[in-house]
Structure 1
Amino acid sequence: MSSTTPPPAANQATNLTVSRGLAGWLTQHRTSMAFSCYQSGQLFLVGVLPNGSVSFNQQKFTRAMGLCWQPSGRLYLGALDQVWRLENMLRPGEVGNGSFDQVLIPRNAQTTGDIDIHELGVDPDGHILFVNTKYSCLATLDVRHSFRPLWKPPFISRLAPEDRCHLNGLAMVDGRPAYLTAVSRSDVVNGWRERRHEGGVLIDYRDGSIITDQLSMPHSPRVDRDGSIVLLDSGRGRICRIDPVSGMRKDIAFCPGFLRGLALHDGFAFVTLSKPRNGTFAGLQLDDEMRGRDATAWCGVMIVDLSTGDVVEWIKLDGFIAELFDVVAMPGVRCPMAVGPGTIEMQNNISFEALPVD
């Protein structure tokens, strides 16, 4: 952890353990990762230190939710009432604290109000797109207002702060929105809560058509290299592959926890798992699956081989933190760290471009 992270209180301590091969796997596949925890408001950056050990850097962002990584060295994070933009402050060849090849510092936070931002994307013009779950729409930032709506599912009659269908996941293709997930087609306040076990939908953004409605609490659609859609059928605890034409579903793997947050890299899936909260699993097939497998729910990140469904590496969190949200792979980055808002490090980290020489 970064020195900016205060030691947790005894009742808020979380123990992190990793699979024995995680450091080697990240090195072999030339990537690091970031994942978010809205429950405790944390952003975790995971990489490999020069000595070959796994690095965890942890910073506080209230209700940290959706993440979007840009290869230029930019990380977007949706939080309670703001969208944060973090930039790599290092110049070429620089290293932070003797170990870190990316030092991400908050450079902008645009206020949206509490609209329950879920997943994020960035279009080719640099506009931030986000799933506005509270208002059941896809939106972007606005210089004057809380947000500017761009699209709503055809079954939503109007925008209202009612979280009607629990629109949550966003897949981008070539910088454009392609697919979204919702827990139901409900058009009444919190209607999705009575439809958690069935009727979850994958929606084609381009024409509003429903590709499949045979899902249970779907999350995090992503487009794979072959054009198929990989998503989380969270009510069943499955990573699935969906044919975008026929809507046919093929199960890839079962993971022991509530799934939300998915990243694809090198033929593998990074997926976040959470423990149940207030009967999260009740009434879901996931509950039966867990009992049938004599399984205990995880909180953590699993790396799954998409060709076999095998879990190849993992991170496990035990203790106060029990729920995670999103995860992103950071290809080409070996060991990232962040600077947290409101910290001494943020106050003292000042950089600028030199004046041109006459």
Structure 2
Amino acid sequence: MDVKTSTTQDNTQSIDQENPFVYQHTKSFAQILHALKSSLVLSTYQTGKVVMFSPKNDQQLIQLPRNFRKPMGVASHDKHLAIACLNEIVLTHRSQNAAKSYPNKQNVYDAIYLPRSSHYTGTVDTHDISYGKGGLWAVITQFSCIAQLDPRFSFLPKWKPDFISELTPGDRCHLNGMTMKDGLPKYVTALGKSDKPGGWRDNKLKGGILMDVDTQEILLEGLAMPHSPRLVGDDIYYLQSADGELWKYHVPSKSNEKICDVPGFARGMSFYQNFLFIGLSKIREDSKDFGKMPIASKNPIAGVAIVNLRTKKVEALLEYKNAVKELYDVHVLPGVQRPNILNTLGDMHTRAIITPRKIFWQDPQKDKKQKGPYENMEQNNQSTN
């Protein structure tokens, strides 16, 4: 695969200019994203960034990092995009017209995700999240359960493995991955079958499980740190992170098949049009246990691999060269070719005033005595799209 090195960035809110996120990618990576007319969202809690990658053309990519506090799981539905963070889940909504009138770069973006609210969960180590029936579902790892958001509570527990005796903090089995079926959680991954706080650590390299939520059946065990189950038809694709491998479990036949190797600690996966986009991480240098993983001897990289399910091969690769060492999630934004997102750590998101029929961007420097605070920035749009 031909490799292209790039530091192409969108120099707007929250870019680390002293240590830009240098990356290189195969030409096929840009070609695939460009052909799909889509973009990617990555979460890297290690650097505290949510990163958007979009195709500039069929040869180049554009990178847009934003600061978020320990971002983990990412989920989208229609125009909604949610990001699980340190002690909250940030809920954003996409607007095409607000993107066009974005003050820093007008008529550049085709979508902007604006924070609309945050649900404060407390520090519960939220991992995978997904939209479904009744709203957003979340894996609450500290409490070994799946929950929904509820305005009355930090979270509303809906399911736990039957081997978990009580819903208390302690990360007993390191429940981490979740995939949906018909709008409800259906399959999950955990790093161990344990009912004691931190018990999954006793055999974390080979104690992983894949479970059926409805039946409580353990479909597979002895897995190498499984993550990111994704249901595609009758197949559950999942990652054996410690081995750097992509696997497929066929539900009707109960058969299990290795698809391919990937060049990193695999975690975070998104499916779109026969491609799997897989997040890759390096091994933590300060961890003796992680150094024992099989992937540690394979020179793991941090970035994203694109696997073509027709060929069962890695057909494109993006690799970070410096700042980013660990990713958690990767998510495709179908049909969005130049996205922007604002965080809640600065004040830019507060300048966007959106009503059902019009959009206003407040200019804090404008002399309010001469004109109204939003008057000059009004966009004559009939819909916020």
Does the alignment pair 1:248 with 2:255? yes
Q: How many residues align?
A: 346
Does the alignment pair 1:108 with 2:111? no
Match of 1:219 in 2: 227
Length-normalised TM-score, structure 1: 0.90
Does the alignment pair 1:338 with 2:347? no
Percent identical across equivalent pairs? 30
How much does 1:333 deviate? Answer: 1.3
Q: Which amino acid aligns with 2:200?
A: W
DSSP 3-state at the match of 2:291: coil
Determine the C-alpha separation between the residues in 1 that align with 2:207 and 2:265: 18
Over the aligned positions, Cα root-mean-square deviation in angstroms equals 2.2
Task: Decide whether aligned partners of structure 1 residues 236 and 93 sit closer, same or farther in structure 2, where only a CA change above 3 A counts.
Answer: closer
How much does 1:3 deviate? Answer: 3.6
How much does 1:145 deviate? Answer: 1.8
Is residue 99–residue 112 contact of structure 2 (8 Å, CA) maintained in 1?
no
How much does 1:222 deviate? Answer: 0.4
Select the residue among 171, 176, 180 that pairs with 2:184.
Answer: 176
Structure 2 gap ranges (5+) = 1-8, 359-381
Aligned counterparts, 1:1-358, within 5 A? 1-8=9-16, 10=18, 12-49=19-56, 53-70=60-77, 72-91=78-97, 94=100, 97-125=106-134, 127-225=135-233, 227-277=234-284, 278-279=287-288, 281-287=290-296, 290=297, 295-354=298-357
Q: Which amino acid aligns with 1:100?
A: Y
- Which deviates the most, 328-337 or 340-349? 340-349
Length-normalised TM-score, structure 2: 0.84
DSSP 3-state at the match of 2:22: strand
Task: Decide whether aligned partners of structure 1 residues 35 and 182 sit closer, same or farther in structure 2, where only a CA change above 3 A counts.
Answer: same
DSSP 3-state at the match of 1:131: strand
Is residue 100–residue 108 contact of structure 2 (8 Å, CA) maintained in 1?
no
DSSP 3-state at the match of 2:321: strand
Is residue 4–residue 344 contact of structure 1 (8 Å, CA) maintained in 2?
no
How much does 1:329 deviate? Answer: 1.0
Q: Which has the higher contact order (CA 8 A, sep 6+)?
A: 1
Structure 1 gap ranges (5+) = none
Q: Deviations over 1:29-63 (max 9, x none)?
A: 23211110011111111112379731211111100
Larger Rg: 2
How much does 1:190 deviate? Answer: 0.7
Q: Which amino acid aligns with 1:155?
A: F
Determine the C-alpha separation between the residues in 2 that align with 1:56 and 1:308: 28
